[in-house]
């Protein structure tokens, strides 16, 4: 049984401790992510959600513990959708250029993108519905369009595992729901999703697993989360409200 | 008007004038290429700091009586670039503070060394040349010209080969790193290229004005164009045109070549700025 799980696991975190020099945010964190999972990482600001994601992506080192990639997954198969940086706000780049840059890890020794990669970029732009914007300037797009472009770029880097750091931050409710649906659709097509979000209800609605960081740490399936004490406390807080809002927007 | 053409024609009959123009164009081309990266990655302060380091190294080389100063200036500047990038990425020392310290320090040393040495007859003249460039590009030596052309050529070729990688590391370093790109090496590579560009352009405009040659074309192009490719091409063309105008004006009217080029860049930038406002872009 144990072997079977190990085989399917794409990501194994064992005894992770995260934080800064003198402040430990999280200690002894254990969880696995299996192929096809949809894991939402929730928790308050400063609970270490982004730090955790950066550690898994090997952008920073853990204080203790280890992150293992399983099932033949290597670092150049991780697609990342970071929070927007200041640089990007005035960067002159067309949508096509941005999406194509996702193919960079597949360049190998080539200096320029071969036709195969250009087609890959085109396909992903079409999947995300931004192909008609290809020649537009990235910084002139709306927030939702920008996120779609970045999703297309991440898809160019990988089909297997996407890391999304608050992909709906700053989007209006309608676009937010579209975004969640798009991500769910990608997950249904076989991409493993790891997502940081503030919206616990959306997480409970779409995700297969929840990782709740904070004073108490919870990891398990969404059903287990709903049944758990911590899950109940957070979900009951404002669940009615958000559900209503979603209904309204959809109408 | 025809007087000007006659005068130009007279000058062009000398081969060294033609060489000077060619070198000027090459330097202008390579210095403009990394401008966008420099501006957007907030590396401009490193560029500025490095030009001061280059000044210090240049003074030491002059005092030592090296016939080919660049052999000292180039390695010193490249090493400083690597060190500055290093300290910039560690959080313990603030990057910009480190740059300020290094650049002011090397300038002080450079000026002091130049003053103390009695080898030089015209200290203020030497200092002025290092800071603001040769009074005329025509006074550059043949080896200077040759070395400048080779280095500029190398920079241009490297830039073209690494164009896509430079783009992704500039646009989103975290994404590139997560996707398996060797971003630290890329940053180092960019810093080294910047160092080379600074040393090369110093010959043309002097260490104080180098930043202008790097940054003006990129800023001007960003006012009007919207894709990375078009901005890069436009800033290259902008830089070459302004430098050519600057050199020609300086030959015709005997103005110092470095500041004439920078003035041409400034006027060009203003034109692009107004154009950008009119078309509602930028």
Kindly list the domain boundaries of chain B, sorted by start residue. 2-275
What is chain A's mean pLDDT, rounded?
A: 84
Position A59 in a domain: no
Interchain proximity B164–A104, CB inside 8 Å: yes
Q: How many CB pairs under 8 A join A and B?
A: 109
Interchain proximity A57–B172, CB inside 8 Å: no
Position A136 in a domain: yes
pLDDT at B170 over 50: yes
Structural domains of chain A, count: 1
Interchain proximity A74–B179, CB inside 8 Å: no
- DSSP lists the bridge partners of residue A18 as A26
More confident residue, B238 or A9: B238
Question: Using one digit for the tens of pLDDT, what is the confidence trace for B171-229?
Answer: 888 888 888 888 888 888 988 998 998 888 887 788 778 888 888 999 999 999 989 99
Local structure of residue A137 (DSSP, 8 states): B
Range of the domain at A119: 86-159
Closest alpha carbon within chain A to B37: A91
Residues A77, A78, A81, A86, CA torsion sign: negative
Position A200 in a domain: no
Percent of chain B with pLDDT over 70: 89
Question: Using one digit for the tens of pLDDT, what is the confidence trace for B103-160?
Answer: 888 888 888 887 877 565 677 777 777 777 766 566 667 777 788 889 989 999 999 9
What is each CA distance from B23 to A47, A166, B4, B19, B26, in whole angstroms? 57, 50, 22, 6, 5
A170's CB contacts (< 8 A; 6+ apart) are A143
Q: How far apart are CA B68 and CA B202, in angstroms?
A: 14
CB B238 within 8 A of CB B32: yes
What is each CA distance from B52 to B99, B119, B120, B199, in whole angstroms? 10, 22, 21, 10
- DSSP lists the bridge partners of residue A39 as A194, A209
Q: How far apart are CA B275 and CA B11, in angstroms?
A: 35
Question: Using one digit for the tens of pLDDT, what is the confidence trace for A207-232?
Answer: 999 999 888 888 999 988 888 888 88
Query: Which CATH number is correct for B2-275, 3.90.1280.20, 1.10.3470.10, 3.30.40.10, 1.20.140.10?
Result: 1.10.3470.10
Position A241 in a domain: no
pTM for the predicted model, two decimal places? 0.83
Give this complex's ipTM.
0.82
CB A77 within 8 A of CB B211: no
Position A245 in a domain: no
* The pLDDT value given to residue A20: 74
Position A194 in a domain: no
Position A109 in a domain: yes
Q: Kindly report the nearest CA distance between residue A245 and chain B, in angstroms.
A: 33
Joined together, the tokens standing for residue A199 give 């919206």
B64's CB contacts (< 8 A; 6+ apart) are B72
Interchain proximity B36–A92, CB inside 8 Å: yes
CB A14 within 8 A of CB A68: yes
């Amino acid at each position: 049984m144990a072997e079977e799980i190990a085989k399917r696991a794409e990501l194994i975190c064992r005894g992770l401790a995260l934080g800064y020099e003198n402040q430990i945010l999280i200690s002894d964190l254990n969880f696995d992510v299996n192929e096809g999972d949809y894991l939402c990482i929730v928790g308050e600001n400063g609970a270490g959600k982004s730090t955790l994601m950066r550690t898994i992506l090997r952008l920073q080192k853990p204080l203790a513990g280890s992150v293992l990639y399983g099932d033949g997954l290597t670092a150049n198969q991780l697609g990342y959708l970071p929070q927007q940086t200041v640089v990007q706000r005035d960067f002159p780049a067309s949508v096509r250029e941005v999406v194509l840059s996702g193919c960079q890890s597949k360049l190998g020794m080539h200096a320029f993108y071969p036709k195969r990669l250009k087609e890959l970029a085109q396909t992903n732009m079409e999947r995300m519905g931004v192909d008609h914007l290809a020649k537009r300037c990235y910084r002139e797009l709306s927030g939702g369009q920008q996120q779609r472009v970045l999703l297309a770029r991440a898809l160019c880097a990988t089909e297997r595992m996407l890391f999304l750091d608050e992909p709906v931050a700053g989007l209006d409710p309608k676009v937010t729901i579209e975004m969640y649906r798009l991500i769910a659709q990608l997950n249904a097509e076989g991409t493993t999703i790891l997502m940081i979000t503030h919206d616990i209800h959306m997480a409970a609605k779409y995700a297969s697993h929840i990782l709740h960081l904070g004073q108490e740490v919870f990891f398990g399936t969404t059903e287990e989360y709903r049944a758990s004490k911590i899950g109940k406390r957070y979900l009951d807080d404002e669940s009615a409200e958000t559900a209503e809002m979603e209904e309204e927007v959809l109408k | 008007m025809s007087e000007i053409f006659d005068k130009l024609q007279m000058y062009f009959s000398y081969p060294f004038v033609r060489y000077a123009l060619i070198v000027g164009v090459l330097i202008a081309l390579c210095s403009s290429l990394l401008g966008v990266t420099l501006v957007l990655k907030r590396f401009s302060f490193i560029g500025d700091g490095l030009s001061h380091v280059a000044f210090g190294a240049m003074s030491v080389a002059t005092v030592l009586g090296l016939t080919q100063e660049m052999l000292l200036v180039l390695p010193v500047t490249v090493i400083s670039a690597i060190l500055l990038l290093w300290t910039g990425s560690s959080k313990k020392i603030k990057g910009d503070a480190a740059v300020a310290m290094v650049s002011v320090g090397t300038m002080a040393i450079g000026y002091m060394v130049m003053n103390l040495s009695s080898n030089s007859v015209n200290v203020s003249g030497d200092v002025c040349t290092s800071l603001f460039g040769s009074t005329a590009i025509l006074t550059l030596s043949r080896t200077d010209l040759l070395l400048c052309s080779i280095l500029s050529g190398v920079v241009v070729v490297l830039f073209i080969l690494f164009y896509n990688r430079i783009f992704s590391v500039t646009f989103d370093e975290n994404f590139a790193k997560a996707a398996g790109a060797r971003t630290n090496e890329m940053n180092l590579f960019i810093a080294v290229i910047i160092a080379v560009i600074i040393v090369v352009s110093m010959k043309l405009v002097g260490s104080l004005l180098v930043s202008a040659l790097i940054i003006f074309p990129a800023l001007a192009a960003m006012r009007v164009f919207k894709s990375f490719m078009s901005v890069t091409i436009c800033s290259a063309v902008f830089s070459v045109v302004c430098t050519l105008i600057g050199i020609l004006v300086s030959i015709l009217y005997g103005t110092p070549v470095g500041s004439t080029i920078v003035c041409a860049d400034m006027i060009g930038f203003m034109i692009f700025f107004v154009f950008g406002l009119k078309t509602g872009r930028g």
